[in-house]
Amino acid sequence: MKKIMLVFGTRPDAIKMAPLVKELKKRNTFQILVCVTGQHQEMLYQVLDRYGISPDYDLSVMKENQSLFDITTGILDRLKIVVEEEKPDLVLVQGDTSTAFATALTCFYMKTPIGHIEAGLRTNNVLLPFPEEFNRQAVGLVSKYHFAPTELAKENLLNEGKEETSICVTGNTSIDTLKANLLSDYNHPIIDWADGNRLVLLTAHRRENMGAPFKNMFYAIKRVLDEFDDIKIVFPIHPNPIVRETAFSIFKKSSRLKIIEPLEVHDFHNIMSKSYLILTDSGGIQEEAAFLGKPTIVLRSATERSEGIDAGVLKLSGIEEEEIYNAIKTLLGSNVEYEKMLKPSIIFGDGLASKKIADFLEINYSD
Ligand code: UD1
Ligand code: UDP
């Protein structure tokens, strides 16, 4: 029986790997190991606990305010020992985090084959997002299998010269998790708090947005909050001290804006589905918003998920205060503009991605 090790380390990786861990373990075709790098700590364990995943290894690399060097060298040093000991036949990594990159580099040095989940996303600007665009291209360079969420992602991989037989279009596993989490009779104190108002859900964490772009976003959002007295904004804030410092310095106490701790993923998904509008610089939230058909302003100057822009459910605002302010104001001020974006779609997946990945591995990689 071949041994497959899944390596991941941040909240979004865990949310996207959880359904795959479950699917692969259920089948009994492979021996399955889970190694977490611990690039995130509380946010990672929030997800692992929710899905009952007990990692076989935890590299515990997280430090407060960690640099890219800290994460990368921490993983290289510690994962080498695990790979030497376990000798997996295949390692699966997810997405574009430093965990995915450092894992792929470790496996490359050790000649261990890699399967890349969420392969082929591209902005083709190596600085946007930073360092994720580099990470995903680098992982792609050394992967044996590429699990592309969309046809566009597959096309990107083919354009880079990857073999067609090494690519499998699966949808994104994030939609597997989202679909399983949605409840029709869901309630939460945040939803009660918003009662009678339009609920706006905000998240922000990207490294390249630190400094002026975060300030621009938060000042623009503050202006919108002052202008529309029928909105309430909830901001589940990332634990990164830099994000927190900027947010707390700009958003002073307000009865219509709540900054809260990161939500459990099932709460986050259900609150998304009950929100009026989403403002985010996240990657994964763009996919989930598209599935839900929830109008979303992407607080960035480029996205690797252009399928959502083409489908009409996502809008890129750029990172200047005035353009962010105008983008939000247009949607809040015009039902016509808003309703144009109410477009549920399965462009990023239909909830069966994990099954498709497991099927591919059974056919192409089992004994
Ligand atoms: C990382 C990924 C990013 C992904 C994001 C998802 C990289 C370079 N970045 O960015 O692609 O979009 O995760 O959220 O891989 N922290 C805690 N507890 C936690 C998690 C983070 O305290 O559970 C704090 C720590 O001070 C840590 C800091 O946040 O040093 C930043 O974490 P890090 O993983 O470096 O960056 P993210 O912005 O989370
Ligand atoms: N999410 C969550 N709780 C929160 C905020 C986000 O569970 O308070 C989930 C969200 O549904 C999505 C993922 O976290 O699945 C996105 O993570 P993040 O934005 O941190 O990272 P990215 O997707 O940009 O890499």
**pLDDT (average), residues 217-233:** 98
Q: Using an 8 Å Cβ cutoff, are 298 and 286 in contact?
A: yes
pTM value is: 0.98
Catalytic residue set: 96, 118, 132, 205, 207, 238
Distances in Å between the Cα of 176 and the Cα atoms of 26, 96, 253, 359 are 16, 19, 37, 15
Query: What is the structure's pLDDT at 264?
Result: 98
pLDDT(300) > 90 = yes
Mutate to test the pocket of ligand 1, among 45, 47, 60, 62 (most ligand atoms within 8 A of CB): 62
- To the nearest whole percent, how much of the chain has pLDDT over 90? 98
- Find where tokens 């977490």 sit: 36
Residue at 346 is within a domain: no
Q: Is 216's pLDDT higher than 90?
A: yes
Asked, for residue 182, whether it belongs to a domain, the answer is no
Longest dimension (CA), the chain: 63
Answer yes or no: is pLDDT of 361 > 90: yes
Q: How far is the CA of 240 from the centre of ligand 1 (A)?
A: 7
Number of domains in the chain: 2
pLDDT band with cut points at 50, 70 and 90 for residue 367: confident
Atom of ligand 1 nearest to the CA of 101: 15
Q: Is the pLDDT of residue 245 over 90?
A: yes
CA distance 334 to 238: 31
Give the Cα separation of 144 and 4 in Å (integer). Answer: 13
Same domain (yes/no): 18, 91 = yes
pLDDT classification of 43: cutoffs 50, 70, 90: very high
Residue 229 lies in a domain: yes
User: Which residues form ligand 1's pocket by a CB distance below 6 Å?
Assistant: 10-12, 39-44, 62-66, 68, 71, 96-98, 131-132, 205, 207, 239-241, 283
Three-state secondary structure call for residue 200 = strand
Nearest-CA residue for ligand 2 atom 25 is 283
Q: How confident is the model at residue 169 (pLDDT cuts 50, 70, 90)?
A: very high
Residues 20 and 85 in one domain: yes
Q: Is the pLDDT of residue 96 over 90?
A: yes
**Are 219 and 247 in contact, with CB atoms under 8 Å apart?**
no
Closest ligand by atom to 236 CA: 2
Report residue 298's pLDDT band, with 50, 70 and 90 as the boundaries: very high
Same domain for 193 and 140? no
| 331 within domain boundaries | yes
Peptide bond into 344 cis (omega under 30): no
Tell me, in angstroms, the distance from the centre of ligand 1 to residue 357's CA.
Answer: 27
For residue 282, the ligand 2 atom closest to its alpha carbon is 24
10: CA distance to ligand 1 center in Å? 7
Please give the backbone phi and psi of residue 320, each rounded to the nearest 5 degrees, phi first. Answer: -90, 145
Q: Is the pLDDT of residue 212 over 90?
A: yes
- Whether residues 203 and 330 fall in one domain: yes
**pLDDT surpassing 90 at residue 253:** no
Examine the domain organization and report whether 107 and 30 are in the same domain.
yes
Instruction: Indicate the pLDDT class of residue 181, thresholds 50, 70 and 90.
Output: very high
In a domain, 239, yes or no: yes
Whether residues 108 and 241 share a domain: the answer is no
The reply to whether 333 and 357 lie within a common domain is: no
Q: Are residues 317 and 357 in the same domain?
A: no
pLDDT attached to residue 252 = 85
Question: Can you tell me the mean pLDDT for 97-114?
Answer: 98
φ, ψ of residue 5 in degrees (nearest 5): -110, 125
Co-location of 93 and 195 in the same domain? no
Residues 226-242: pLDDT tens digits? 999 999 999 999 999 99
Ligand nearest to the CA of 303: 2
Q: What letter does residue 208 receive in the DSSP assignment?
A: G
List the CATH number of the domain containing 361. Answer: 3.40.50.2000
Cα 89 to middle of ligand 2, angstroms: 30
- Percent of the chain exceeding pLDDT 70 equals 100
Count of all residues that appear for the chain in the document: 367
- Tell whether the model's pLDDT for residue 10 goes beyond 90: yes
Q: List the domain range (segments joined by +) for residue 300.
A: 189-340
What number is the average pLDDT over the span 267-288?
A: 98
Are 14 and 149 found together in one domain?
yes
Residue 179 lies in a domain: no
Task: Note whether 155 and 130 are same-domain residues.
Answer: yes
In a domain, 255, yes or no: yes
Q: Is residue 249 part of a domain?
A: yes
Please tell me if the CB atom of residue 162 comes closer than 6 angstroms to any atom of ligand 2.
no
Average pLDDT, the chain: 97
